[in-house]
Structure 1
Amino acid sequence: MGPRLYAPSLTMPHQNPDGPVAKRQKVSGVVAPAKSPANSSRIFAPFRTVGLVSPTTVPFTSIPLGKTTFQITTSVGRSLQTYDLRRGLNLVFITRPQTPFDITASYAWKEKVLTAWGDGSNGESQGLWVFQRGKKVDELTLPSDINEPVRQIIVFGTWIVAAASTRIEIFKSATLEHYTTIHTMAASERGNEITGGITSMPTFLNKIFVGRKDGWVEIWNVSTGKLIYTILPPSPDCGAVTCMEPTPALSLMAIAYGNGPLVITNVLTDKRVLQIEAGNPAAPVTCISFRTDGMGAGHDGRKDGVMATATPATGDVTFWDLNSGGRVMGVLRSAHNPPSRDQRGIRGGVSKVEFLAGQPVVVTSGLDNSLKSWIFDATPFSPVPRILHSRSGHSGPVNCLQFLPTDFDGADAGSKWLLSGGQDRSLWGWSLRRDGQSTELSQGNIRKKAKKVGILSTNALAHGPTTTLEDLKAPEITCIATSLNRDGGIGAIPGKQPMWQKGQAQNKPGDAEISGMTGWESVVTAHKGDSFARTWFWGRKRAGRWAFPTGDGTNVSTVAISPCGSFAVVGSEGGCIETFNLQSGMPRQRFPSKLTPAQARQLRLQQLRQADDVAQLQSESGRKFPRGTGKHTKAVTGIIVDSMNKFLISCSLDGKIKFWDFLTGSLLEQLDWAPMTAPIACRYHAANNLLAFACDDQSIRVVDMETKKTIREFWGPQDAITDLCFSNDGRWVIAASRDRIVRIWDLPTSHLIDAIRLEEPCTALSMSVTGEYLAATVEGKPGVTIWTNKALFKHVPTRQISEKEIQLVSAPTVSGEGNQGMLDGAYEDDQQEADDVVVAPTVEQLSSDMMTLSLVPKSRWQTLLHLDLIKERNKPKEAPKAPEKAPFFLPSTTGAAPLAGQQKPTDVAEDDSKSRITKLDKARFEEMFSTKLRTAAASNNCTLIDIVDDEFIEHLKSLSPSSADLELRSLSVGDGDDESNELLHFIHALTARLMARKDYELTQAWMTVFLRLHFDVVMESATLLAALQQWKSHQEQECNRLDNLVGYCSGVLCVEDLERDQKEADGIMKSRATIKYIFFGYLEDLDRSVGLLLGRHLQKRHNDTIHVALELLPLVVQHPVEHAEQDNRPRQLLDEPLQQPAELVDIAILDEPLVQLLVNQGARVKVKRAQELAYEALHNGPPARHLVLVLVLGVGVQAAEEDEGDKVRALVAERLHERGAEQGQAGHVPSALVVSVD
């Protein structure tokens, strides 16, 4: 039995040994739940948060799992993540549900993890939950009067101890019941605050040690609730206790103080065994751990006595050899990133260091969002460990996001990889499928560089500001561009290659030769305050070979990569744009193109001469932007290369959007929005060829690249826009602004269809190329939130919403609790809002004057028309053959199948019963058709079936082609009277439907099949013939009406209506300007259209001369260009002014296919080929001072009647009739009429 502490021998002056034992306090089981937003987005559902490992100050907790591995649990806010050491720190559990408030302490005990959450001092509820394998299994009830967060939990013996700021809660580990509360002894200036935590020591039964702010260490008996002893600090100026840890040696305790001393004390005798200066007031030691495998100390590492200390003020871990008075045996420099001295958002420092029991492995966690394991090498011996495993993420806020394209390594990689650049100077690639594949892109061996410059060889205890490993990385990333078309994968450029070459050192031909075989860099980044853009290998996950400088030496503002993956484009803060070849690293083009000194002088001279030389100005008017001009005057904010590498688009703070020729660097066109606004970001959607610009007036403008015009403007953000992106299909524009709202606009309707209000502003957005995920970052947070697109699997309402409807939405969590995966939305019930559902009006017929078609598929009534032919084609070519007999040695299990036409006698009765049932059903089906037909006829007294009562027609429309054919075949004349005559009722039904102008194509199909089946019966019945004649008259009347309407509507191609303004028409007529009428149709339509125009304008105002030409329709209309090119004569059409009035004297129709026009104009006669007139009228327009009218004449010419005001039509009809009579086909000569009036 180990030593025990006895109260009489260790009584302190402030202790009252006869005081009462602390009583158990009443506890309350009611815990107020956290208030979390219950609203959700219409389109996007929260999925999960990636990139968090250990971002909080809560230290990790570990426990051995059997004899083979350890499990390490870290806090990521409101959830715990458990990693398995043997699997390379692979994530195995994430706790669910997440705690209502942030986790404040955790402790691994057996197979469970105890977790405290909430801060009562901030008005939050508090709790103590128990998790097992990621699931909540139990809960400990805290006292109702606790208003301090629990900072530490330990389990020893039969007790669970939870320490807050000034009180300690004791629970029984067997029943999880609250036992008692211990309050530390009061002191001035909050000296009783627990700053060093609590701990226990082996062999000390029921005793805990409490480190206080005043430097005292209290020893309490948790069973009796009494203070046993108090260990005083070695000196009054040691400061507060910051950490306590029992040593492997019994009764020895290591106590660290705020001012730097670390004292190893024998708690039995209260004497100091060893004292060292392990820290200083600026960097006190906050975590201590001892190696327990009995190795590591001494000059050969074969002695016991190794201690590790760390502090959040630095990222270093110091290892001590406690033999011979204690000495520093090694310092693990920059085990974690140190706290940032310039940026408050970058966290760093070591939060905990712990040796694994019995192993030469030490585990560290830092405030830089990382968890690492280190191992000591025994041969050769090294006092400083090397890295074994590492899991980490961004240690600072994320600046930019970029999803990689879909097919860089196969179809399964779509939406898998997400690139992110943060303020911690790192570039990460996140796998959305498996966390273990996420990795940071290497920037070279940073630790090796640090040794060269002496960073890792400074004094171990020099905790002041020094150069860190992070200072050797590239500056923080502000922009990412990717194109994986030429990425060589993991085998790109094998071997050792230089990194980020600058200047002339990059001109090595060997680099281009090697990369040409294996591929080259596929990622380009811009960095804050740096004049170089850097390249990266995505396949090899490392830095690339090139660092591209800006053309004017200013800092890089934005970057882009061409879609082909061969060129990187760099934009500067000075307005310069330059392209580089990614294979060779050589500069290729500058925008505007770089001029030689001679070209620059020539350009200057041209600009000076243009001011005086008018001719020069006119010659340069066609070329808007001379070569070498058009440079941006302010920082470039966006660069886009179109999908064909033809154009480069740039936008700048000078308010201009410029369109450049990618090959020549010449400026083609520009949009000037200054001083109204200036674009601050640009996004491009290649499929739609659209550009979206975020402007500094808090608006988004969408520009069409083809027309160079603004097609949409979106307003609504109340603060600056931080980022924007297109959806994968280009239908939505998604934008985030500093008013904490992410808005989604619908491009076709220009409506704001969704908005997500977050607790913090969103700083970056990116949507996957497959549309599955939307990635977003929150200001000040190192994680990346992932949202799923619900529109992929369910209908999403697109009703426009107002700003008042925008509500706070719960962001994705690390555990994914309450979130939706890709398929979750597919199984949800569509519960749409009432105002979201807009039912389209279902009007059967818009107007009774309009012919309406049915909604029956075209294939159904076409099949009905050709059903006999289809059946004939479907007949088998050969009769079915009996199957071949099997060999005699193969037994038959089912018996021989009967041949065709044979039937087993035992099945006759069964087949008879089946046939009776089938016959009954068939009879009922046939009776339904006849019943509906007779009912409709009876309700209308055997006359035309009422068009309102269309039950029979709807039933007939619902039948399949074979069923409809069977019903039509089944029609009968009945008993000979009209009431039972189904044929008569059917004709009346179709006639009524035709008069109602409904289901036009169906009535034609049904009547065709009806006459084909019952023609012989109809011809023998006078009643049926009369009904059929009535249907025919309505049919012809309707056909004529439709022909007239269609001919009139489709005839006029281009008519400049002179009746809109009579004064303008009179002025046009008097000025003898060009007036064009073009009409295509039939001659009988002239009375209603062209005849009116001719009679009103042509004859009343231009009765001078009429030139008429005739041409066959195919030659004029179908091939006008071909025939015009065959005639090489000069095109001269009435160029000379008229000498005297003349009239139409003759129309000659020659035997050749080309018809010539004879015009008697005084003593002159001109011949003009008619197809040239038609070609000029249809394509080039009529000559000056002429009115051209083109008519197409066809069927019904001889039936046209003469009427006043249209002598031209009558004359042409007469000539065509005569010509047609000669050919034996009067009235059927399709021709073209060209009338030219001067």
Structure 2
Amino acid sequence: MAAERAALFAGFRALGRYSSHVPHVLRYHGRHREFYVATAVGRSVHTYNVKKLGIVAVSNALLQDITCLAADRMLIFASYGDVFHAIARNKEVVHTYEGHKARIHLLQPFGDHVISVDVANVLIVWDIQSEEEYLQVVFDKATFAVSAILHPSTYLNKILLGSEQGGLQLWNIRSNKLLYSFPGWGLGVTTLAQAPAVDVIAVGLVSGHIIIHNIKFDETLMKFQQDWGPITAISFRTDGHPVMAAGSPVGHIALWDLEEKKLLSQMRNAHSTAVAGMSFVPGEPLLITNGADNAIRVWIFDGPGGTGRVLRSRMGHSAPPTKIRYHGQNGEQILSAGQDGTLQSFSTVHERFNKSLGRGSINKKKSKKKGLQNDTMALPPITAFASEIAHQNDWDGIVACHQGYITCTTWNYQKTSMGAHKLRPEEFSKNKPIDIYATAVDITTCGNFAVIGMSTGQVDVYNMQSGIHRGRYGRERAHEGSIRGVAVDGLNQLTITAGSDGLIKFWKFKAKDLVHSTDLPSSPSGILLHRDSGILGIAFDDFSISVLDIETWKIVRKFSGHQGRINDMTFSPDGRWLITSSMDCTIKTWDLPSGCLIDCFLLDSAAVSLTMSPTGDFLASAHVDDLGIYLWSNRSLYSLVSLRPLPADYEPSVITLPGTCPLQDVDVAEDEDKCDEMVEYESPEQLGEQLVTLSLLPESRWKNLLSLDIIKKKNKPREPPKVPKSAPFFIPTVPGLIPRYAAPEQENDTQSKVVNIGVLAQKSDFYVHLEEALSTNEYTAPLNLLKDLGPSNIEIELRSLAPEGGGSLEVMLSFLRMIGMMLNKKYNFELAQAYLALFLKLHLKIISSEPSLLEEISSLSTQLEETWIHLRSLFNQSLCVLTYMKSALL
């Protein structure tokens, strides 16, 4: 049974993605008079303004990850595989160019044309508007493998090509002629850049050499050499300073003085990976760089020595995140620890609120002196952390443990830096054993204490304000094996520890005494406590999950279904859902009240960490070998979602990770229609044999049946309405000497004569169906007719059942049997009560004098009493449960 889409969560957008290995492009907008920088992020193009480095636009997602980027005055060109597209207005794909047989690795806009080169050494010139090939040139890969392309300034219709063999060729594209071949320098060309001077080109080589060459006279003007490997990017300042910048694969940038022909300065560790793109802003002392370390930086050259400093930057993790958690209660910040050793905070509202808390270090001062590459003081990546906001303005509010490291660190969110304390057991204060390390950590709700579990089974408590050791659980250690998880309840009364020895232990938080110990069926791999409801999620090494109530110390739910190691768990804010991720690449949502799996979706890569927003609107996930954090919107908040248990043979289909652009709002009504089509669920007529079912008719149809005479009396006008008499055209006068007006004649009141037609009245449909039901015993048709009538018509129909109204005793008996049928089936319970009450009110004298009717009424009375006694016991039971729950909460 395959699923078309995830029912409960829908992909929203990705956080923390800013750059890739693809070089950026710099554009100038004439009307805005502003520079923009575009970077490739996954399958989309991000456009930032240089002024504030704020994101301006995110393009629509392409089919695959972008591998090459270029831009002209109007369009951005992005390629993947053997296809490339033209993107207009930084968003929409307006042209598609197909024709290459191999992967495209070079793009060069050229007036009304664009040039593309693939790895098979085929160069194609395209007409931008018509999407047709203008020219195709095939080069011999053995003698001239194209590795760089450039359009020299003022060279009409000409392009310069660099090769892996080291030679250069100047071509006229219009005439398809090779104008000149440069012998080169015997080393592969990696990049070509136009110098501010006409005819002068900078050539970067794989050896680290930079050749400043005049292509008009084929003359080398100067040479430079870097010792950091091949040249990855070159750019020239154009604000009056003769400076050239060159990038390297190790992330260093060298600045060369072109007048003095010497090295001006070095910008070491500008990026932690290779410098992919580099552009000086024309006429300004600003340099823009990007790299595969997921960072864009704007450097300003305003200090002495000619070196630059970071003016603005946008950066995420340079290595995949390992643990993510929401910070605070507003659901707007996500703390993320990555394999790059940094702890960062990403805002779900806007990128300008992002923070980087830095990298863990034994000694910050020494680390800054040594730099990123040679930093022996850097701590290993964070494997687990906990945060609280209660006292984060007063002292550190985050505590973290590091991979294979005994010392736990504190972090300050407000200061965006590493904290003041390093927490480790006193016996290891001098020597630090390699085989002992911290495995689990938690922080109390008040933010005063941190509880840290060790691989030896020790569990220690530290004060967050002073860093002082405040006790240990157990005499020497809490468990015989490694600690797999620690948790403190919301009132600082209980500390819960889980060990690899297969035990869950409950300790008094302050006294450190053991309260209870629970044996587990398997060794736990991790625990998670929902403090508000007091439920503990336990993940096991056998891929199963259990839920334990910390008040009764009993396991209340067991779930199985994952086929791989469970990486992380998170609870919904109300504690109804437990969401788990596993190495089987699925994310599953378990409903705790019903104990069922209600949602499951499959991804291309496994989620290593999950966290649910405190407001319940988003689920965030981090994945294997992925730099981004992905947000999934909770569809149950804004559309109709079926939370029925999934069948045992449910097979989820693969869901694509969301892009960096928020998905367009879908039509909720249309979405609901799809949901209705997908889940065809019909409620049964009766939920249980012991219950009763109401009719769902509005109260106005049945509630006031006994008060109709009072309502009519209140609505009766005090006096009949009088028609105003119109004045005659000529006012009549009395004949005589003195003219007098004639008095108006009084009209005789006409009294209506009501004719009692009695037996001449025509039988109604309701009456006819009741007569038929005496023989067929089918009362569905008369009941449906009665349900469609209003209160006044119902009274008329019931009055007409008596003999003086044209009815008969047999029809009255048939009506009582219809009420009995309703009570037997327990349908339309309130209608049966109302109809019977009105019937008794109208015909009580006739019923008391007829034995057949009295016998039927007595059986109905017994039936009504039994049903009501049972319902009253159910009501009392529910009220007792509610009273108990209220008293427990208070």
**Partner in structure 2 of residue 194 of structure 1:** 146
**Which of 968, 975, 983 is the aligned partner of 2:795?**
968
Inter-partner Cα distance in structure 1 for 2:36 and 2:682: 58
Q: In the TM superposition, what is the alpha-carbon distance from 1:129 to its structure 2 partner?
A: 0.9
Q: In the TM superposition, what is the alpha-carbon distance from 1:84 to its structure 2 partner?
A: 0.8
**Partner in structure 1 of residue 515 of structure 2:** 668
Inter-partner Cα distance in structure 2 for 1:84 and 1:802: 52
1:474–1:982 distance in 2 versus 1, CA, 3 Å: farther
1:446–1:867 distance in 2 versus 1, CA, 3 Å: farther
Asked if structure 2 preserves the Cα contact closer than 8 Å seen for 1:215 and 1:232, the reply is yes
Q: Secondary structure at the match of 2:621?
A: strand
**Partner in structure 2 of residue 78 of structure 1:** 43
Inter-partner Cα distance in structure 2 for 1:448 and 1:785: 32
Q: Please, what TM-score do these two structures have when normalized by structure 2?
A: 0.84
**Partner in structure 2 of residue 686 of structure 1:** 531
**Which of 288, 310, 335 is the aligned partner of 2:270?**
335
Inter-partner Cα distance in structure 2 for 1:429 and 1:82: 22
**Partner in structure 1 of residue 12 of structure 2:** 47
Asked if 1:370 corresponds to 2:295, the answer is yes
Inter-partner Cα distance in structure 2 for 1:218 and 1:47: 48
Which AA in structure 2 matches 1:524? V
**Which of 39, 54, 57 is the aligned partner of 1:90?**
54
Asked if structure 1 preserves the Cα contact closer than 8 Å seen for 2:536 and 2:550, the reply is yes
Asked if 1:989 corresponds to 2:812, the answer is no
**Which of 77, 86, 110 is the aligned partner of 1:156?**
110
Q: In the TM superposition, what is the alpha-carbon distance from 1:405 to its structure 2 partner?
A: 4.0
Q: Deviations over 1:814-857 (max 9, x none)?
A: 234xx565x755641343598954544425996xxx99775467
Asked if 1:292 corresponds to 2:238, the answer is yes
Asked if 1:480 corresponds to 2:385, the answer is yes
1:201–1:1004 distance in 2 versus 1, CA, 3 Å: closer
Asked if structure 1 preserves the Cα contact closer than 8 Å seen for 2:195 and 2:201, the reply is yes
**Partner in structure 1 of residue 133 of structure 2:** 178
Asked if structure 1 preserves the Cα contact closer than 8 Å seen for 2:771 and 2:814, the reply is no
Q: In the TM superposition, what is the alpha-carbon distance from 1:696 to its structure 2 partner?
A: 1.2
Asked if 1:952 corresponds to 2:834, the answer is no
**Partner in structure 1 of residue 22 of structure 2:** 58
**Partner in structure 1 of residue 487 of structure 2:** 640
Asked if structure 2 preserves the Cα contact closer than 8 Å seen for 1:740 and 1:757, the reply is yes
Gaps of 5+ in 2: 429-435, 727-759, 874-890
Q: Secondary structure at the match of 2:815?
A: helix
Asked if 1:246 corresponds to 2:194, the answer is yes
1:979–1:970 distance in 2 versus 1, CA, 3 Å: closer
**Partner in structure 1 of residue 607 of structure 2:** 762
Q: Secondary structure at the match of 2:644?
A: coil
Q: In the TM superposition, what is the alpha-carbon distance from 1:711 to its structure 2 partner?
A: 2.7
Asked if structure 1 preserves the Cα contact closer than 8 Å seen for 2:399 and 2:443, the reply is yes
Inter-partner Cα distance in structure 2 for 1:565 and 1:903: 83
Q: Secondary structure at the match of 1:168?
A: strand
Gaps of 5+ in 1: 1-36, 119-125, 296-304, 338-347, 407-412, 457-465, 493-514, 593-627, 881-899, 907-926, 1052-1238
1:901–1:134 distance in 2 versus 1, CA, 3 Å: farther
Q: Secondary structure at the match of 1:89?
A: coil
Asked if structure 2 preserves the Cα contact closer than 8 Å seen for 1:788 and 1:820, the reply is no
Asked if structure 1 preserves the Cα contact closer than 8 Å seen for 2:766 and 2:785, the reply is no
Asked if 1:740 corresponds to 2:686, the answer is no
Inter-partner Cα distance in structure 1 for 2:667 and 2:451: 41
Q: Deviations over 1:937-987 (max 9, x none)?
A: 4436xxx6965234333444455xxx426642686569x957813798456
Asked if structure 1 preserves the Cα contact closer than 8 Å seen for 2:457 and 2:479, the reply is yes
Which AA in structure 1 matches 2:413? W
Which AA in structure 2 matches 1:201? P
Q: In the TM superposition, what is the alpha-carbon distance from 1:536 to its structure 2 partner?
A: 2.8
**Partner in structure 2 of residue 1031 of structure 1:** 853
Which AA in structure 2 matches 1:184? F
Q: Please, what TM-score do these two structures have when normalized by structure 1?
A: 0.61
**Which of 517, 525, 541 is the aligned partner of 1:696?**
541
Which AA in structure 2 matches 1:585? G
**Partner in structure 2 of residue 829 of structure 1:** 672
1:82–1:983 distance in 2 versus 1, CA, 3 Å: farther
Inter-partner Cα distance in structure 2 for 1:709 and 1:721: 22
Asked if structure 2 preserves the Cα contact closer than 8 Å seen for 1:995 and 1:1034, the reply is no
Inter-partner Cα distance in structure 2 for 1:1013 and 1:481: 73
Q: Deviations over 1:540-578 (max 9, x none)?
A: 444333332246644221111222333222222222212
Asked if structure 2 preserves the Cα contact closer than 8 Å seen for 1:754 and 1:801, the reply is no
Q: Secondary structure at the match of 1:1032?
A: helix
**Partner in structure 2 of residue 549 of structure 1:** 424
Inter-partner Cα distance in structure 1 for 2:235 and 2:722: 93
Asked if structure 2 preserves the Cα contact closer than 8 Å seen for 1:752 and 1:802, the reply is no
**Partner in structure 2 of residue 318 of structure 1:** 254
**Partner in structure 1 of residue 767 of structure 2:** 934
Asked if structure 1 preserves the Cα contact closer than 8 Å seen for 2:766 and 2:797, the reply is no
Q: Deviations over 1:980-1018 (max 9, x none)?
A: 137984565135523774467655544544454566xx4
**Partner in structure 1 of residue 396 of structure 2:** 521
**Which of 752, 767, 773 is the aligned partner of 2:597?**
752
Asked if 1:136 corresponds to 2:56, the answer is no
**Partner in structure 2 of residue 533 of structure 1:** 408
**Partner in structure 2 of residue 214 of structure 1:** 165
Inter-partner Cα distance in structure 1 for 2:361 and 2:559: 47
Asked if structure 1 preserves the Cα contact closer than 8 Å seen for 2:192 and 2:202, the reply is yes
Q: Deviations over 1:365-399 (max 9, x none)?
A: 1111000101111xx64411121111111111110
Larger relative helix fraction: 1
Farther off after superposition, 703-712 or 827-836: 827-836
1:982–1:440 distance in 2 versus 1, CA, 3 Å: farther
Q: Deviations over 1:197-246 (max 9, x none)?
A: 11121122222111111111122221222222222234x4xx21122212
Q: 5 Å matches for 1:1174-1213?
A: none
Q: In the TM superposition, what is the alpha-carbon distance from 1:781 to its structure 2 partner?
A: 0.9
Asked if structure 2 preserves the Cα contact closer than 8 Å seen for 1:969 and 1:1013, the reply is no
Q: Deviations over 1:409-443 (max 9, x none)?
A: xxxx3x32222111111222222232332222256
Q: Secondary structure at the match of 1:294?
A: coil
1:903–1:335 distance in 2 versus 1, CA, 3 Å: farther
Asked if structure 2 preserves the Cα contact closer than 8 Å seen for 1:429 and 1:441, the reply is yes
Q: In the TM superposition, what is the alpha-carbon distance from 1:771 to its structure 2 partner?
A: 2.5
Q: In the TM superposition, what is the alpha-carbon distance from 1:644 to its structure 2 partner?
A: 2.4
1:727–1:1013 distance in 2 versus 1, CA, 3 Å: same
1:405–1:213 distance in 2 versus 1, CA, 3 Å: same
**Partner in structure 2 of residue 361 of structure 1:** 286
Q: Secondary structure at the match of 1:1031?
A: helix
Q: Deviations over 1:879-938 (max 9, x none)?
A: 99xxxxxxxxxxxxxxxxxxx9899889xxxxxxxxxxxxxxxxxxxx999723421344
Asked if structure 2 preserves the Cα contact closer than 8 Å seen for 1:945 and 1:992, the reply is no
Asked if structure 1 preserves the Cα contact closer than 8 Å seen for 2:8 and 2:641, the reply is no
Percent same amino acid at aligned positions? 28
1:931–1:172 distance in 2 versus 1, CA, 3 Å: same
Asked if structure 2 preserves the Cα contact closer than 8 Å seen for 1:929 and 1:967, the reply is no
Q: Secondary structure at the match of 1:354?
A: strand
**Which of 314, 319, 325 is the aligned partner of 1:391?**
314
**Which of 81, 103, 112 is the aligned partner of 2:66?**
103
Which AA in structure 2 matches 1:765? L
Asked if structure 2 preserves the Cα contact closer than 8 Å seen for 1:929 and 1:955, the reply is no
Inter-partner Cα distance in structure 2 for 1:137 and 1:771: 35
1:405–1:825 distance in 2 versus 1, CA, 3 Å: farther
Q: 5 Å matches for 1:834-1233?
A: 836-842=679-685, 855=695, 863-865=704-706, 931-939=764-772, 947-957=777-787, 963-964=790-791, 967-968=794-795, 980-981=806-807, 985-986=811-812, 988-990=814-816, 992-994=818-820, 997-998=823-824, 1002-1003=831-832, 1005-1012=834-841, 1018=845, 1025-1027=848-850, 1029-1039=851-861
Q: In the TM superposition, what is the alpha-carbon distance from 1:291 to its structure 2 partner?
A: 0.5
**Partner in structure 2 of residue 731 of structure 1:** 576
Which AA in structure 1 matches 2:543? Q
Kindly name which structure, 1 or 2, has the bigger radius of gyration based on alpha carbons.
1
Inter-partner Cα distance in structure 2 for 1:184 and 1:447: 56
Which AA in structure 1 matches 2:43? R
Q: In the TM superposition, what is the alpha-carbon distance from 1:82 to its structure 2 partner?
A: 0.5
Q: Deviations over 1:1050-1095 (max 9, x none)?
A: 99xxxxxxxxxxxxxxxxxxxxxxxxxxxxxxxxxxxxxxxxxxxx
